[in-house]
Amino acid sequence: MINKIKENVWQLHFKEFGSCVYLIKLKELILIDTSSKECRNELLSDLKELKIKPEEIKIIILTHDHYDHIENNNLFTQAKIYSKRKIGQLNIPEFKFINAPGHSKEDICILYRNILFSGDVIFHNGYIGRTDFPESNPKKMQESLEKLKKIKFEILCPGHLF
């Protein structure tokens, strides 16, 4: 299912087990996360509906490295993939990257205009990301949530629509 969030920003939402994928059209086509392999056909179908071929995607930004956010990375053969460890190499002045560990060690959030892409850190209705994984850290999650409270945004784009 495709939801237009704002001009040049779309949300591609799939089955309950997959994460949301966000498409942003700037000078280059950017995806935030790529969801799970169970959602592969839906992802390709949504891109086709938007008249976008996988090879046209040039940048993938991963909010973290859990399988349900990364399993379709290999579809995008022309894309450079950026995670927390490589995000410093990415120069997109319109984006602000926020280190937000807790759910995982690798969590980042992305602020673009007044839109916060929050991965699995925060969701709608006040839900927060799980911290019961081996690499999770509840204390770091609280610190990340405090950091995000100080950020002004109007639209929340989480990693899942719970």
Nearest by Cα to 24 from 48, 60, 55: 60
Residue 18 has pLDDT above 90, yes or no: no
Number of domains in the chain: 1
Instruction: Determine the Cα–Cα distance for residues 60 and 63; give it in Å rounded to an integer.
Output: 10
Whether 49 contacts 67, CB under 8 Å: no
CATH code assigned at 20: 3.60.15.10
Domain that includes residue 116, residue range: 2-85+93-158
Q: What is the pLDDT of residues 63-119, one digit of tens each?
A: 999 999 999 999 999 999 999 999 999 999 999 999 999 999 999 999 999 999 999
* β-strand pairing of 115-119 with 155-158: parallel
Q: What is the pTM of this model?
A: 0.95
Residue 15 has pLDDT above 90, yes or no: no
The number of helices, as runs of H, and strands, as runs of E, in the chain is: 3, 10
- The mean per-residue pLDDT over the stretch 112-136 comes to 96
Among the ranges given (17-26, 96-105, 145-154), the one the predictor scored with the smallest mean pLDDT: 17-26
* β-strand pairing of 115-119 with 108-112: antiparallel
pLDDT of residue 16: 64
Whether 65 contacts 104, CB under 8 Å: yes
Residue 160 has pLDDT above 90, yes or no: yes
pLDDT of residue 140: 98
